[in-house]
């Protein structure tokens, strides 16, 4: 396929990623209701199930992403991408029909396998892009994630008013329509002469983590970054359960609040960070971001009114300048010819935080809202997030005040 900076194929990949993320976001507001419907449990107990459901999805995606990527190198992007989309669409129907919680777990495990299509989409973009347009075209991934997490939860909350299973059918319809469009329109991007045999050794997700041993100078900062991503799951994994327990929010209200959170993140990550970072410099940007994260999470933990959650999104989302700034400092400490290896290792590490974070935060919420808790405190996971950010801040300060003091 001829490379270009702007092709119909790129538009399709953008739509594919957007629908994938909308499909993930659309079910977030109704997941607690569906869990309670299947188990007849309290919201405290439902959060525990929810955390392990997210764990199952993230765990399978972590291990299958390199496998799916290797298969696309062997058989081409088109068949692997279309198979992933078709499987994802059927899986949403499978989830919508779930008669038991076990069925729901099986569905999320399968979703983790098919959801690894992001790897193939990224490879497709690399195939169709000229070198000078590649970075720009990769920007569609961030754009799709941002829009998806704004549209998805709002749409899911609205549809959830008609039943906890309706958003799953909507996600299935969107995904299967996208698959049908791709089946007739999407061309292959990987020429046969550029394909390689599938190698299980190269499909090892843990292998990329070993590359971090090559960069002892940044290991402390990598640990700080990992703590930030784990702490973020206090919000990402726990928001729906906390707001139902604390404020009795319905699916619609949860959807609107998550849409607002997505919009705030998009504003900070897509615009403000380009203004703040050059003015403060990377080191100060990290410190300011970590402080804002800590303030936001602490305020969430002790909030007593629903409107406070919207107001406290401002400091929390401003904390979003910390992660990219920290990643930039880490990247600048590594030679240009080793950037690919470093980024692959960081991606794997961030994936691991999506395995650790959800069960940690939801089980903490479940314990402190359950009958055996020494004190009733639904904001416990937010406070844990604030503590992790504070530890990250100490690690960051120790590293930046040493080797990176002048940067």
Distance, in Å, from the CA atom of 400 to the CA atom of 356, rounded to the nearest integer, reads 26
Contacts of 367 by beta carbon, 8 Å cutoff, 6+ apart? 373, 380
* Full set of structural domains in the chain with CATH: 1-191+199-205 (1.20.1250.20), 206-407 (1.20.1250.20)
Contacts of 407 by beta carbon, 8 Å cutoff, 6+ apart? 282, 283, 329, 332, 400
pTM to 2 decimal places: 0.85
Q: Are 30 and 156 in contact (CB under 8 A)?
A: yes
Q: Are 113 and 64 in contact (CB under 8 A)?
A: yes
One-character DSSP codes across 232-246: HHHHHTTHHHHHHHH
Q: What is the pLDDT along the chain (407 residues), one digit of tens a residue?
A: 555 544 677 777 788 778 778 877 888 899 999 999 999 899 999 999 999 999 998 888 888 877 777 777 778 778 888 888 899 899 999 999 999 999 999 999 998 888 766 667 777 777 776 666 665 666 666 677 778 888 999 999 999 989 999 999 998 998 898 888 888 877 777 767 777 777 776 667 776 667 677 777 688 888 999 999 999 999 999 999 999 999 999 999 999 999 999 888 888 877 788 788 888 888 899 999 999 999 999 999 999 999 999 999 999 999 988 888 888 888 777 776 566 567 667 777 888 898 999 999 999 999 999 999 999 999 999 999 999 999 999 999 988 876 555 44
């Amino acid at each position: 396929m001829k490379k270009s900076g702007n092709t119909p194929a790129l538009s399709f990949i953008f739509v594919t990623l957007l629908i994938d993320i909308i499909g993930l976001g659309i079910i977030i507001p109704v997941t607690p209701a569906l869990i309670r419907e299947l188990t007849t449990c309290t919201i405290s107990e439902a959060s525990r199930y929810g955390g392990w459901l997210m764990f199952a999805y993230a765990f399978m995606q972590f291990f299958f992403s390199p496998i799916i990527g290797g298969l696309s190198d062997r058989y081409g992007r088109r068949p692997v991408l279309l198979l992933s989309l078709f499987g994802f669409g059927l899986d949403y129907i499978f989830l919508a029909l779930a008669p038991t919680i076990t069925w729901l777990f099986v569905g999320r495990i399968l979703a983790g396998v098919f959801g690894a299509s992001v790897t193939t989409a990224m490879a497709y973009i690399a195939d169709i892009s000229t070198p000078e347009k590649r970075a720009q075209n990769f920007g569609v991934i961030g754009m799709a994630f941002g829009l998806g997490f704004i549209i998805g939860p709002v749409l899911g909350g609205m549809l959830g008013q008609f039943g906890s299973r309706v958003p799953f059918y909507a996600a299935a319809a969107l995904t299967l329509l996208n698959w049908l469009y791709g089946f007739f329109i999407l061309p292959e991007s990987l020429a046969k002469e550029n394909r390689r045999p599938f190698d299980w050794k190269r499909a090892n997700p843990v292998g990329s983590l070993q590359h971090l041993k090559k960069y002892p100078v940044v290991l402390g900062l990598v640990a700080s970054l990992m703590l930030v991503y784990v702490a973020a799951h206090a919000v990402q994994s726990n928001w729906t359960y906390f707001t139902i327990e604390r404020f009795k929010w319905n699916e619609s209200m949860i959807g609107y609040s998550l849409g607002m959170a997505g919009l705030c993140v998009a504003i900070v990550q897509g615009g403000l960070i380009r203004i703040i970072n050059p003015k403060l410099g990377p080191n100060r940007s990290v410190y300011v971001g970590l402080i804002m994260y800590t303030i936001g999470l602490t305020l969430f933990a002790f909030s007593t009114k629903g409107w406070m959650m919207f107001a406290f999104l401002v400091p929390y989302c401003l904390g979003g300048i910390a992660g990219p700034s920290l990643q930039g400092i880490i990247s600048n400490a590594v030679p240009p010819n080793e950037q690919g290896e470093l980024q692959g290792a960081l991606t794997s590490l961030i994936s691991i935080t999506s395995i650790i974070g959800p069960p940690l935060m939801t089980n903490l919420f479940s314990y402190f809202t359950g009958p055996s808790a020494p004190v009733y405190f639904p904001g416990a996971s937010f406070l844990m997030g604030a503590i992790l950010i504070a530890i990250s801040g100490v690690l960051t300060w120790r590293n930046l005040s040493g080797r990176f003091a002048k940067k």
